[in-house]
Structure 1
């Protein structure tokens, strides 16, 4: 700023080179100083501290476009004294929350800080919904349980909440993924295969989840081309979300989305969603779409989003967890021992019956590794629209109507004041506690040193600091199903297969995550991980029960 003021002074005094139009310089610099002053001026005395940009108003948007999630994460970690700060953007404000207690306050203020009003426009850009479908989504959006969004929310929460339907769906998911592994083992015939671990895992998850949710005759079952279209769509979500001529700026993702939408439209028109192997949750979603006036094409695009929700985070979390487990022989042996205790021999000869219920309760180390991988890999943001002026922290902060609040999960997950000095390193033990620690006494008792998984983040860590599944009204309704599915898939792989470095070095390299993209889900690695996967000599066929 001082340099700009000096330049402006030179221009006014006539000391700039004569070849440079002084009036133009004065105009540009005056405009810049005016915009800088405007962006630095709070809209209310209680507005959170402003972090002005060198490029007034546009800086945050450019930063996020060029650096992805790394931009806001760097800002948050660079200003640890600010639990919330303001980023001025054109015609609005972004309030970035980096403190768990304030995140909890935002979650509790769900009547005035709400994600729902943002849903129609976001889905229009990401899914390519037409204006009629967007208008249907807007109707009843402010009513609890009302309209299309309320109906879908009721169905999804009902099916994926704790209960028999969740248990049945989780068992089916485990069996589908177990079949994928068994089919692969039979194909390679004991020889093993060098694979890209992420691509290998996500193929199993895509095919297994496709059958689970949409039956054997689902769109992804038609061939690799359709699965490739799905991942093209996933990898270009940021460009679609930006909404700037996506047919050109995000062409690969746009084409992938359109191919998926066309396949789902045909699937619905043919009535394949009525088949017995399609679960009730999908049938009810399509019924609600039809009742609220969605066209078949719009209903198809809605199902693309549901398929996306069922595949992407499960695949990427499984990848990171397998990588961390098999990169550490000691951890692999501990996890394998836990999982072995969940297998009974009362099945057919050479077959083990893996109890999903025991996996959830008797495998604390495995679950701790999953949670730590979610912490390290999830830089996602929970977003709310400020519907009316809202005070936080007892009136200390004022959030102005029309602005957007973002709870910065990536900042909290990397905050050393929350997770300790090793916050940037993998350490699954932060999610473990021994029986002695849980009992809070020094008396020895049977099994006191057996690790027990924390059912919630404890040990002095604020419960809102773990953001992998969001929080409050937007807490992921599929979190229980996702954890069940991931645990079952991991257990089958750990029992059945060995994973080693492809180069024979004995050391699997763990790359860093790619945080230069918008963090719409668990982040992928910056480079492929090649491994050798082969069947264990004493492996049995595993059935999830």
Structure 2
């Protein structure tokens, strides 16, 4: 008994010593803070408390710990790093002007190394040459509104029609898992647009391998690798092999996006095998955020009958023409003449967006006329959730879902106020393609179907979220089983046309 008591006492003293040392280390790390650095917000658990909070609470963590609404920027201490956190729309333009000192480049380099499995030479090229600048340029150019993007959009739209006909063609009621179907439909449509009609994800094994790899992306990039049995790496190898095969004979209907990326990588000095691995990371950006954004847009619309009716009427009036059994969706009108649909889509992004745009501080940087100092080697984040819920920008209803919000001409929009597509100057180059794809799919489902939760269930007001995914819009923790019924008056043959080429082909997004 005495030995047991002594052992317990020893353990308790050891734990006390560890806790004391942790608090001492936390105190000493803060001792060297410059008075101009953003003030530290202390965590209850020293050194790793904020990391645990972000993992457990997700996007709401920044609202929970921020006890002073006037604080625009603060510091979270995580081990020996400082994570500066700006929740201010006023400071964001100042941050954006410091794009060299507050750099996104290290994030791209990490993706190339961790997800693209870059070898030492490829890693050097990404770090020491102009490859990242040239790579970003060709992506922006090939995805800008114009003939190249129109070609991608039409190929993507044609595949949407195929998958909707597979779902609805026999006219019978279907029971599906909404997220599972959304993932399949977006993968197939996006891949047709980007790779051409003979894309790698037509192979079920490659499709399944990509999403198996995707489930491990956070572990692979974080350095805290829970993929002990290498399931994610084995799945990635399947995707890599499929891209290596595709790149040996790139089909003629591949997009300018894929082709110019490929040429850029090769001309920068990457070997064919290394370039094909980097190309295999393309569907991460292409699919990861489009799937949940589409899912939640459908969820928000179909769970609100009055909103569904209004959007359906708007689409039928302005974007659909019918001649006998033919129904034609006009893409130009869908983009520019359906403001309630577009507003609902963007309100879904505003309320569901959780991403914190992150930059590395590459040199000591002063902001706000020298009042704020960010020290080299640390990181800066701009959590979109905190900014999107700011009452100073979005008024007293900032925490509510207001479908018409983005129809308000008096609403300040874009730049520092709406971060769903990133923080300028690093906006998602594929935002026009992704937005068009989601609007087409949503419009088709709204007009052609009625969707209800399966018997015995209902639309949840606040369904659980999956915090582990490396996405800007979180997936639901549990898929939703729904019943899809065909709207009989809209049966027939469906087509998509580009519309009036003289009009702007750009979706008028808040982010541009």
Alignment of 1:475 onto 2:427: yes
Alignment of 1:358 onto 2:341: no
Q: Map Cα deviations across residues 340-393 of structure 1 (whole Å, 9 max, x no partner).
A: 12345476x411221111111110110011001111221001111112211111
Asked if the contact 1:261–1:301 (Cα under 8 Å) also holds between the matched residues in 2, the reply is yes
2:223 is aligned to 243
Which of these two proteins has the greater Rg computed from alpha carbons?
1
Between the aligned partners of 1:26 and 1:533, the Cα distance in structure 2 is 59
**Aligned residue among 128, 138, 152 for 1:155:** 138
**Aligned residue among 364, 383, 389 for 2:358:** 383
**Deviation (angstroms), 1:504:** 6.9
1:517 is aligned to 468
Asked if the contact 2:319–2:331 (Cα under 8 Å) also holds between the matched residues in 1, the reply is no
Does the C-alpha gap of structure 1 residues 122 and 307 become closer, same or farther in structure 2, counting only changes over 3 Å?
Answer: closer
1:233 is aligned to 213
Does the C-alpha gap of structure 1 residues 318 and 526 become closer, same or farther in structure 2, counting only changes over 3 Å?
Answer: same
Give the number of aligned pairs.
Answer: 491
SS at match of 1:101: coil
**Deviation (angstroms), 1:71:** 3.7
2:31 is aligned to 41
**Aligned residue among 46, 50, 53 for 2:40:** 50
Asked if the contact 1:492–1:542 (Cα under 8 Å) also holds between the matched residues in 2, the reply is no
Matches within 5 A, 1:294-313: 294-313=270-289
Bigger drift between 197-206 and 414-423 goes to: 414-423
**Aligned residue among 491, 497, 509 for 2:449:** 497
Asked if the contact 1:70–1:515 (Cα under 8 Å) also holds between the matched residues in 2, the reply is no
Alignment of 1:112 onto 2:96: no
SS at match of 1:93: strand
Asked if the contact 1:385–1:404 (Cα under 8 Å) also holds between the matched residues in 2, the reply is yes
Between the aligned partners of 1:256 and 1:79, the Cα distance in structure 2 is 46
Between the aligned partners of 2:100 and 2:405, the Cα distance in structure 1 is 34
**Deviation (angstroms), 1:205:** 1.0
**Deviation (angstroms), 1:79:** 4.2
Structure 1: where are the runs of 5+ without partners?
1-15, 141-146, 439-457
**Aligned residue among 149, 162, 165 for 1:182:** 165
1:11 is aligned to none
What TM-score do the two structures reach when normalised by structure 1?
Answer: 0.83
Asked if the contact 2:216–2:227 (Cα under 8 Å) also holds between the matched residues in 1, the reply is no
1:94 is aligned to 83
**Aligned residue among 381, 394, 397 for 1:406:** 381
Matches within 5 A, 1:334-345: 334-343=310-319, 345=321
**Deviation (angstroms), 1:172:** 2.6
**Aligned residue among 23, 28, 31 for 2:21:** 31
1:443 is aligned to none
Between the aligned partners of 2:356 and 2:413, the Cα distance in structure 1 is 19
Alignment of 1:170 onto 2:173: no
2:500 is aligned to none
Bigger drift between 508-517 and 317-326 goes to: 508-517
Between the aligned partners of 1:266 and 1:486, the Cα distance in structure 2 is 29
Between the aligned partners of 1:264 and 1:381, the Cα distance in structure 2 is 30
**Deviation (angstroms), 1:336:** 0.8
1:196 is aligned to 177
Bigger drift between 87-96 and 350-359 goes to: 87-96
Q: Map Cα deviations across residues 479-505 of structure 1 (whole Å, 9 max, x no partner).
A: 122211211121122222221221177
Between the aligned partners of 1:491 and 1:462, the Cα distance in structure 2 is 24
**Deviation (angstroms), 1:400:** 0.8
SS at match of 1:341: helix
What TM-score do the two structures reach when normalised by structure 2?
Answer: 0.88
Between the aligned partners of 2:293 and 2:23, the Cα distance in structure 1 is 46
Between the aligned partners of 2:285 and 2:393, the Cα distance in structure 1 is 29
Asked if the contact 1:381–1:519 (Cα under 8 Å) also holds between the matched residues in 2, the reply is no
Does the C-alpha gap of structure 1 residues 108 and 229 become closer, same or farther in structure 2, counting only changes over 3 Å?
Answer: same
Bigger drift between 149-158 and 165-174 goes to: 165-174
Alignment of 1:283 onto 2:259: yes
Asked if the contact 2:209–2:236 (Cα under 8 Å) also holds between the matched residues in 1, the reply is yes
Matches within 5 A, 1:457-468: 458-460=410-412, 463-468=415-420
Asked if the contact 2:467–2:474 (Cα under 8 Å) also holds between the matched residues in 1, the reply is no
Between the aligned partners of 2:487 and 2:172, the Cα distance in structure 1 is 11
Bigger drift between 257-266 and 329-338 goes to: 257-266
Between the aligned partners of 1:299 and 1:513, the Cα distance in structure 2 is 39
Does the C-alpha gap of structure 1 residues 148 and 79 become closer, same or farther in structure 2, counting only changes over 3 Å?
Answer: same
